[in-house]
Amino acid sequence: SGVAVSCGVGIRHGLDLAFHISIIFPVPWGLQAGTTQLLCTGPVLLSVQKRTDKHEWITTENGTGTVGISSSAQEALGNVIYCSLALESAKAASELYSPLSGEATEINEALAENPGLVNKPCYEYGWLIKRTLSNPSELDELVSKEAYEKYIKSIEE
């Protein structure tokens, strides 16, 4: 089994991107498949790091958000063997949810040539997408790294 990311791209005054990422996780993750997110335009914001209970992280700096999958998700996936903004893993599938709305400005194209980068330090090499943020108040709905780690421990027990 594997992970698939289907990516629809439309270019206007920037890159508008609708994407759907399926990642296979073991049963304890309790994730669901089937969500498509549309990314829109957005404003400026200071540096913030947040997590979701769906195993994504987002860092924001000066109104740009960078999104990737958490270290815990990377460990659950194992070695990623294919990425064309599609990930394939030998373990299981779920969604990469878009934690915030915004206009896609950059896709980590290096993942197509070297999908194993997803398994490298996620903030440097394994990020998936960058975008402007259209609704900074959505950050308030996300959790801190510490709260996320506590959540991971609770589902592992």
Assign residue 24 the CATH number of its domain: 2.40.50.100
Task: Look at residue 107 and tell me whether its pLDDT is greater than 80.
Answer: yes
Task: Look at residue 126 and tell me whether its pLDDT is greater than 50.
Answer: yes
Look at 148 and 42; give whichever has higher pLDDT: 148
Q: Which strand (E) or helix (H) includes residue 155?
A: helix 145-156
The residue with tokens 């801190």 is: 144
Mean pLDDT calculated for residue range 136-143: 87
The strand pair at 92-95 and 37-38 is best described as unpaired
**What is the pLDDT at residue 17?**
33
**What does each C-alpha distance from 22 to 97, 139, 143 come to in angstroms?**
9, 23, 22
Task: Look at residue 51 and tell me whether its pLDDT is greater than 60.
Answer: yes
**Of 37, 19, 22, nearest in space to 88 by CA:** 22
Q: What is the pTM of this model?
A: 0.59
Domain count, the chain: 1
Using pLDDT thresholds of 50, 70 and 90, give the confidence band for residue 26: very low
For the chain, give the mean pLDDT. Answer: 65
**What is the pLDDT at residue 120?**
75
**Domain ranges, residue 146:** 4-156
Using pLDDT thresholds of 50, 70 and 90, give the confidence band for residue 157: confident
**What is the pLDDT at residue 32?**
40
**What is the rounded CA–CA span in Å between residue 21 and residue 136?**
23
122 by DSSP, 3-state: which? Answer: coil
Using pLDDT thresholds of 50, 70 and 90, give the confidence band for residue 97: low
**What is the pLDDT at residue 152?**
84
Q: Which strand (E) or helix (H) includes residue 105?
A: strand 104-107
